[in-house]
Structure 1
Amino acid sequence: MSGSANTAEGNTQKPKKKWEFPHVFALMFGLIIITAILTYFIPAGEYDRETKIVGDQERTVVINDTYHEVEGSPTGFFEIFETVHKGMTQSADIIFFIFIVGGAFGILNATKAIETGLANLSMKMADKEIYLIPVIMTLFALGGGTFGMSEETIPFIMILVPLAMKLGFDSLTGAAMVIMGSGAGFTASFMNPFTIGVAQGIAELPTFSGMAVRLVMWFIFVALSIAFVMIYAKKVKKNPEKSLMYKIDKERNFDDSLSGEYTKLTARQGIIIGLLAVTIIILAIGVIYFKWFIMEIASLFLIMGVIAGFVGRLRVNEIANAFIAGCKDLIVGALVVGFAYGILVVLEESNTIDTILFAASSLVSQLPTAFSAIGMYVFQSLLNFLVPSGSGQAALTMPIMTPLSDLTGVNRQTAVMAFQLGDGISNAITPTSGVLMASLAIAKIPWTTWFRWVIPLILLFYIAGAIILTIVHLFIWTV
């Protein structure tokens, strides 16, 4: 009797819930808390700063040999929660850029033009789908290598994720074509004004000098990225269950993606797709020749959305509702940027970033000449987790790395390359990168899944970067 009672009693016990990885907001807030705790252990200090003309813009840069300790200001309990609002405020331009672009694509989706166009493309690319990957990634890599394509990639996530899935790949492949295409080009850029231009200006080098060496590096990094994505895509195409996103992709709601019966493009849908193509061309021209940034790009996509709505014969209220629906789809992707910036707020307000910079540069200065370039590379790579902005990191570190390179026998061009590699590679994994976290949120890819997939390529990048840096230090850009 007692045995049967125990059995019955055991059957009434609730099954243990399976452990779930924290939501991206929980993850980011956890990082804010950890960073806040560290402010109680890292001494506060700062460098003096001055305003200099770098290229054709004024930039605030640190002054070397001016580091001094200041009164500590560790982050308090209530201030931890304030950082979320401050992070949202500081990144408001990016957040609303994402909302506006999302709304514009919401209107575009309401016309069914992209949905029908991608369906037709997938049929025409039957048995040739894999060749789209190198073409698309090369285009994004050119954008990253020339005008520093970064925030501008976010809208394309909404196009290429459903396209990749329709072609028999998965959402990870679609996101990777955008993130790793532009990321490889950005990392090994040969004329990015926001990284190479700023860093060389501070280092007093001719703008975009050393381009031939960087072009070779660009080809190496882009080739590695394309090969990595294609190998994975082929594996998924052959066996969908090999996809790291298999379970999540199966549960996706395809109402706004690619499902149902497809017909040929109507004339109006063809015009709308042509409008999207013209918008992309204008985007490239505006960024390269007219120095457009977030505000201008958001306005361009909004114009595109409104025109597409009218061409698609949507009523005014339908356009407005489609815009709202597009914004709703990107709420997580937009707001996660504010959480990422919250981490930077903690470091800035506690005056600990300069202390970390001072300690790391002191260690680099003690390395033998042969290892100084690698030391700079490691230093810049680690700092990028705290300062993911390329131009911001250049303004923070190059005024210190430039004289340090002179003292340690490292050519200034090599110091700039160490900066660009350190700044670029980890952008594809760092949770403090608002663009990365927004892209993953829009693609509905958990950061842990992305990290597990991309880390072999990132390690390959770091190894390739170290080899290239050593070669140029010893044989090309010698002092």
Structure 2
Amino acid sequence: MTEKKKFFKVPHTYVIIFTIIIIAFIGTYIIPAGEYERVEDPNTGRMVVDAESFEYLEPNPVPFFSFGEDHLFTAIYNGMEAASNIIFFILIVGGAFAMIQGTGAVDAGIGKVAVALKDRGIILIPVLMAIFSVGGATIGMAEEVIVFVPIGVALARALGYDAIVGTAMIALGAAAGFTGGVANPFTVGVAQGIAEIPIYSAAWYRIIILLVTLTIAAIYTMRYAIKVKKDPSKSVVAELEKNTESTLDLSNIPDFTKYHIFTFLVVLAGFGVMIYGIIEYGWYIKELTSIFFMMGLFASLAGGVGPSRTAGHFVDGARTIVFGALVVGIARGILVVMEQGLIIDTVIFAMGESISGLPDIMAANLMFVVQLVLNFFIPSGSGQAATTMPIMAPLADLLEMPRQIAVFAYQFGDGFTNSIIPTSGVLMSYLAIAKIPYEKWFRWILPLMGMWFLSGVIFMSVAVIIGIN
């Protein structure tokens, strides 16, 4: 039995991702090269695909090795370079949070919350999910949520759960809101603008989608959390939890001192500045990284920690998440290979062609499936909208369906899979911060993905039947 278990052991995360890179590399020799022309949309100023412009090109397979051009193994470096902003963000956030945690304020504050909730801690899961879903549905919170993951993990552990629960109640809440996209300017707003339909139209239907998606995720996470609290060995990341030294002992909670108050005041001020900068100035990774570093530095000093210990905490925090930070760059290598081999547009073209001429409900759900697949290759929400909506919107016209259907297919395809695909920098950032191996997360979330996918099929079918517009 022991030998069988070893034989069926899930491969290392890096092995999984590099295997996908190899598959993409082979694909550049099999799949014909092709390309759409990109033109500027006069209404939005974005570069979008000209749906009628696809043409096959001369094959451009990626070399296994070359002295004079990029090859299979330079894809890792190029992926690291392309994802450098996310990698730096992960390392600095990890270091900054370690600085904050080094003051003892996090343990003391979360300990008091955990003791106050005691056996009612389970209610925290749907409450936090609902809060973050509002951010996902309105301002498109995704990368911005990364900074809350360490707090979620620490709180979950204090309540007797594990890192999976702590990550899920933050990340899946935002994902449910992002998928519903009621007023998300980066996904639904962009897609509807390209499809030339009223911005944020059919919001009532998206609110229903948000509530259903959120409820499914909350119930799934709560059931798992109850099981883990009852028997910690049932945790998907039991080995991680056993080896984690930072689990808070509720029987010996640190005193909450004035220095802890100073620390939390700095942290609250930092988050306030972040939110203001995002809303008013459109801040992104670079700005958020700098603010979080400042937050960690000033919070540590305000908490009474000396400069040398503060620096030590920063280095320790960054060092513990190098594994996850590197995953982001390695996974980006998949896209690098496909872009170099000029096969991404060919995949899009072939999928679009396969849908036309089918019955309405089947065609609509195949549009959804196509977007699911394409999100693996184009994980950026606005990037996928700019690439696929100029194709999907005219396709909806051809099938005599409202263009709103094409937008729903896009938002489901983009929203659901962001929580499972290894090419998503945001997901890999969550897992890096929480120190959860990708294969463990994949195993845990796969059933939820099945439920979300089924709900998406139902919502797509109902939208076709009622002719939503």
In the alignment, is the contact (CA less than 8 A) between 1:332 and 1:438 conserved in 2?
no
Mapping 1:30-429, distance limit 5 Å: 30-52=19-41, 55=44, 58-78=45-65, 79-254=71-246, 257-259=247-249, 261-429=252-420
In the alignment, is the contact (CA less than 8 A) between 1:87 and 1:340 conserved in 2?
yes
Deviations 1:337-357 (A, max 9, x none): 111111000111111001001
Secondary structure, aligned partner of 1:221: helix
Aligned AA (2:286): M
Q: 2-side partners of 1:449 and 1:435: how far apart?
A: 17
Q: 1-side partners of 2:364 and 2:430: how far apart?
A: 32
Secondary structure, aligned partner of 2:370: helix
In the alignment, is the contact (CA less than 8 A) between 2:13 and 2:439 conserved in 1?
no
Mapping 1:399-478, distance limit 5 Å: 399-477=390-468
Q: 1-side partners of 2:325 and 2:223: how far apart?
A: 31
Q: 2-side partners of 1:72 and 1:311: how far apart?
A: 60
Q: 1-side partners of 2:57 and 2:416: how far apart?
A: 33
The alpha-carbon deviation at position 430 of structure 1 amounts to 0.9
Secondary structure, aligned partner of 1:61: strand
Aligned AA (1:400): I
Deviations 1:79-103 (A, max 9, x none): 1110011111111111111122222
In the alignment, is the contact (CA less than 8 A) between 2:80 and 2:329 conserved in 1?
yes
The alpha-carbon deviation at position 54 of structure 1 amounts to 5.7
The alpha-carbon deviation at position 242 of structure 1 amounts to 2.3
In the alignment, is the contact (CA less than 8 A) between 1:67 and 1:358 conserved in 2?
yes
**1:17/1:469 Cα in 2 relative to 1: closer, same or farther (>3 Å)?**
closer
Q: 2-side partners of 1:318 and 1:386: how far apart?
A: 42
**Number of the residue aligned with 2:68:** none
**1:89/1:53 Cα in 2 relative to 1: closer, same or farther (>3 Å)?**
farther
**1:64/1:16 Cα in 2 relative to 1: closer, same or farther (>3 Å)?**
closer
Secondary structure, aligned partner of 1:205: coil
Structure 2 alignment gaps of length 5 or more: 66-70
Q: 2-side partners of 1:16 and 1:392: how far apart?
A: 44
Q: 2-side partners of 1:447 and 1:319: how far apart?
A: 30
The alpha-carbon deviation at position 439 of structure 1 amounts to 1.8
Q: 2-side partners of 1:75 and 1:149: how far apart?
A: 36
> Which has the higher Rg, Structure 1 or Structure 2?
1
Q: TM-score, normalised by structure 1?
A: 0.92
Q: 1-side partners of 2:146 and 2:74: how far apart?
A: 27
Q: 2-side partners of 1:465 and 1:16: how far apart?
A: 37
Q: 2-side partners of 1:311 and 1:228: how far apart?
A: 40
State, as a whole percentage, how many aligned pairs show the same letter: 42
Deviations 1:179-208 (A, max 9, x none): 211111111111111111111111112222
In the alignment, is the contact (CA less than 8 A) between 1:120 and 1:264 conserved in 2?
no
In the alignment, is the contact (CA less than 8 A) between 2:360 and 2:464 conserved in 1?
no
Secondary structure, aligned partner of 2:40: strand
Q: TM-score, normalised by structure 2?
A: 0.94
The alpha-carbon deviation at position 293 of structure 1 amounts to 0.9
Following TM superposition, the consecutive aligned residue runs of length 4 or more in structure 1 with deviations greater than 6 angstroms are: none
Deviations 1:266-288 (A, max 9, x none): 01102212332333333233223
Q: 2-side partners of 1:227 and 1:196: how far apart?
A: 26
Q: 1-side partners of 2:77 and 2:43: how far apart?
A: 31
Aligned AA (2:146): I
Secondary structure, aligned partner of 1:310: helix
In the alignment, is the contact (CA less than 8 A) between 1:171 and 1:249 conserved in 2?
yes
**Number of the residue aligned with 1:7:** none
The alpha-carbon deviation at position 426 of structure 1 amounts to 1.1
In the alignment, is the contact (CA less than 8 A) between 1:367 and 1:375 conserved in 2?
no
Secondary structure, aligned partner of 1:327: helix
In the alignment, is the contact (CA less than 8 A) between 1:332 and 1:442 conserved in 2?
no
**1:23/1:438 Cα in 2 relative to 1: closer, same or farther (>3 Å)?**
farther
Q: 2-side partners of 1:300 and 1:414: how far apart?
A: 40
In the alignment, is the contact (CA less than 8 A) between 2:324 and 2:435 conserved in 1?
no
Secondary structure, aligned partner of 2:51: coil
More displaced, 268-277 or 422-431? Answer: 268-277
In the alignment, is the contact (CA less than 8 A) between 2:107 and 2:254 conserved in 1?
no
In the alignment, is the contact (CA less than 8 A) between 1:141 and 1:184 conserved in 2?
yes
Secondary structure, aligned partner of 1:40: helix
In the alignment, is the contact (CA less than 8 A) between 1:197 and 1:208 conserved in 2?
yes
Q: 1-side partners of 2:99 and 2:418: how far apart?
A: 31
Number of aligned residues: 460
In the alignment, is the contact (CA less than 8 A) between 2:25 and 2:62 conserved in 1?
yes
In the alignment, is the contact (CA less than 8 A) between 1:198 and 1:394 conserved in 2?
yes
Aligned AA (1:101): V
Q: 2-side partners of 1:266 and 1:31: how far apart?
A: 50
**Number of the residue aligned with 1:23:** 12
Q: 2-side partners of 1:246 and 1:370: how far apart?
A: 43
